[in-house]
Structure 1
Amino acid sequence: MTPSLLILTDFFRAADQALAYATNLAGPLGARLVLLHVRRDSLLDPEMFTGELSDLSKEATALALSRVADNLAVPVVVEIGHGRVAFAVADAVSRHHPLLVVLGRPDYSATPDQLVQTTALDILRTAPYPMLIVPHSVASNAMPRRVLLAVDGEDFTLGLHAGAIRQLVRMLGVELTVLHVAPDSAAAVSEEQVLNSVRRTGVEIDLPAPLHFRRTVATRPADGILQLAQSRDTDLVVLLARPRSFWGKLFHNSVTAEVLLHSTVPVLVLPTIA
């Protein structure tokens, strides 16, 4: 079965940037693109009041999607969904089983974090699935080679997604650095414990180089991750979204949510079972 990447588009800048990034990924992965536009007319839409929504007619939307598809250098399937985006994505995922869901992150710099109800967070709550979020400001669509995997040292499993993620990192030939952020040096778990939590998933199998390890001390884990994510030797940040992150009352204060909103490089979110 040909692998696929599911791309959300609304024809705005952030979505266009995500599409360009995903198109470059599709080549080495031998993947096709599933280009999904959702007509967002639900009052439950998380960006109905805080984000830009396309108001194109159904006919104009179909024509715009056709033009976008015609300009892509990889195989593409076009679909139009309706209603709440998270539900439309869940439906498309159930039929196409993509490696990843890819979407752009608009510019939220003028909006307080507490008021940002992003599509990415809504999807993670409603239908957790491996998701790549591409910031609107990403300047390069080059393949990610230097990948920063942020972990907490606790064991985790990726469940049904483990094989797809191993395929992704292997085919891209990434250099994987495992990052552990500790509140202070005395509280840090051992390097071996952190690396073993990753090795047990099999993610590093067949990588061209062994796992690297970095530790940083920060009172707030998101601050430590964002600091290293902004360095010039990081192309992609990988986060683990544990189930407790989805349902907690303080979801917007979670590490996942904060890094998603503020990272200057693409972020791959991997839902875990534990």
Structure 2
Amino acid sequence: MLTLLILTDFTDAAFHAAKYACSLSRNLPVKRIILFHAYQAMAPVLVTTEPGISSEELDREYTDMLLELANRLEGEAHADTAIDLQVENARMQDVLNELCVKENIDLVVMGIGAKRQQTEGSSNAVSIPEKVSCPVLVVPETAVIQPVKHTVFATDLRELNDASYNELHKWFSMLGGKLDVLNIDQQEKEFGPESYVEIKELHFRLEQFNPEYHYNNGAEEGKSIIRFAHQRGASLIVSLPRHRSFWGDLFHQSISREITYRSDIPLLFVHDL
């Protein structure tokens, strides 16, 4: 059974991500959803401006706002899924990992707004997936809320350990549906003989999901992934961001902005453990 942590700053994009997360509970075994706001991280849309307000009073105000959000989400989640509220007087980045451990979080869900995608300004949607210890689902404001029936897994054929494959197996098993594996040629090997061992290992590890394999050695990897996902009619893109090679660089170079700021398909970042 899964526990989801939904990050909210009370924007339209955050509400859309919350609706998307609630919809997942209708197809995945989600037992609990936590609506979470850290009010030192980002100011909400509405908050009191009275001078000298105490932390306790702010907690109450934000809790009321979370309660209103929970009421708006009524009927969106499975009837057996509990929705809890949590507020922290802290910077989100300072408490998120601790909270994930304390609450046994399986998945962090967050939104990214259409305007933010257009301006490509700094965003938690880029930084948090790299830093948080559990998987992160980034939901664009323009993403269609629908069951996940077709997933694209983007990889650069690097060697993964058993823990990483176990995490991928967990999500691919729960999501079900069709799986496409898109191999990205980051080192310009062009998938020749030197890639044989990695390709063989990948096929062996994912055999039970009967995926289709595809190869891309073109430029602009981030855009290529999104374009491929659209061509295949995918409803989810999966990647592994925490690695010093392709996906590690992804979060420090322009590719990160391409895939996060350009995509209208939800992005599931499953960490390379």
Q: What's the TM-score once normalised by structure 1's chain length?
A: 0.79
Residue 122 (structure 1) aligned with residue 127 (structure 2): yes
**Alignment of structure 1 residues 181-260 onto 2, 5 Å:** 181-182=184-185, 187-189=190-192, 193=197, 195-199=199-203, 202=205, 205=208, 207=209, 210-231=210-231, 233-244=233-244, 251-253=251-253, 255-260=255-260
Number of aligned positions between the proteins? 253
Flag the 1:261–1:194 CA change in 2: closer, same or farther, 3 A: farther
Partner of 1:13: 12
Q: Secondary structure at the match of 1:180?
A: strand
Q: Which runs of 5+ in 2 are unaligned?
A: 48-57
Q: Secondary structure at the match of 1:36?
A: strand
Residue 97 (structure 1) aligned with residue 104 (structure 2): yes
- Cα contact 2:113–2:141 (8 A) shared by 1: yes
Counterpart residue identity of residue 19, structure 2:
A
Residue 170 (structure 1) aligned with residue 173 (structure 2): yes
- Provide the C-alpha distance between the structure 1 equivalents of 2:118 and 2:235, rounded to a whole number of angstroms: 25
User: What's the offset of the Cα at 1:197?
Assistant: 4.3
**Alignment of structure 1 residues 56-75 onto 2, 5 Å:** 56=47, 57-70=58-71, 71-72=74-75, 73=77, 74-75=81-82
Q: Secondary structure at the match of 2:179?
A: strand
Counterpart residue identity of residue 174, structure 2:
M
Counterpart residue identity of residue 213, structure 1:
Y
- Provide the C-alpha distance between the structure 1 equivalents of 2:207 and 2:139, rounded to a whole number of angstroms: 23
- Provide the C-alpha distance between the structure 2 equivalents of 1:168 and 1:100, rounded to a whole number of angstroms: 10
RMSD of the TM alignment (CA)?
2.9
- Provide the C-alpha distance between the structure 2 equivalents of 1:165 and 1:150, rounded to a whole number of angstroms: 12
Residues 207-246 of structure 1: CA deviation (Å, up to 9, x unaligned): 4xx1111123412221211211333611111112133278
Flag the 1:11–1:176 CA change in 2: closer, same or farther, 3 A: same
Flag the 1:223–1:38 CA change in 2: closer, same or farther, 3 A: same
- Cα contact 1:222–1:258 (8 A) shared by 2: yes
- Provide the C-alpha distance between the structure 2 equivalents of 1:119 and 1:26, rounded to a whole number of angstroms: 24
Residue 179 (structure 1) aligned with residue 171 (structure 2): no
User: What's the offset of the Cα at 1:63?
Assistant: 1.4
- Cα contact 2:238–2:270 (8 A) shared by 1: yes
Residue 85 (structure 1) aligned with residue 85 (structure 2): no
Q: Secondary structure at the match of 1:27?
A: coil
- Provide the C-alpha distance between the structure 2 equivalents of 1:102 and 1:189, rounded to a whole number of angstroms: 38
Give the counterpart of 1:154 among 148, 153, 158: 158
- Provide the C-alpha distance between the structure 1 equivalents of 2:63 and 2:173, rounded to a whole number of angstroms: 36
Flag the 1:78–1:162 CA change in 2: closer, same or farther, 3 A: farther
Counterpart residue identity of residue 100, structure 1:
L
- Cα contact 1:14–1:136 (8 A) shared by 2: yes
Q: What's the TM-score once normalised by structure 2's chain length?
A: 0.79
Partner of 2:55: none
- Cα contact 2:112–2:138 (8 A) shared by 1: yes
- Provide the C-alpha distance between the structure 1 equivalents of 2:151 and 2:36, rounded to a whole number of angstroms: 27
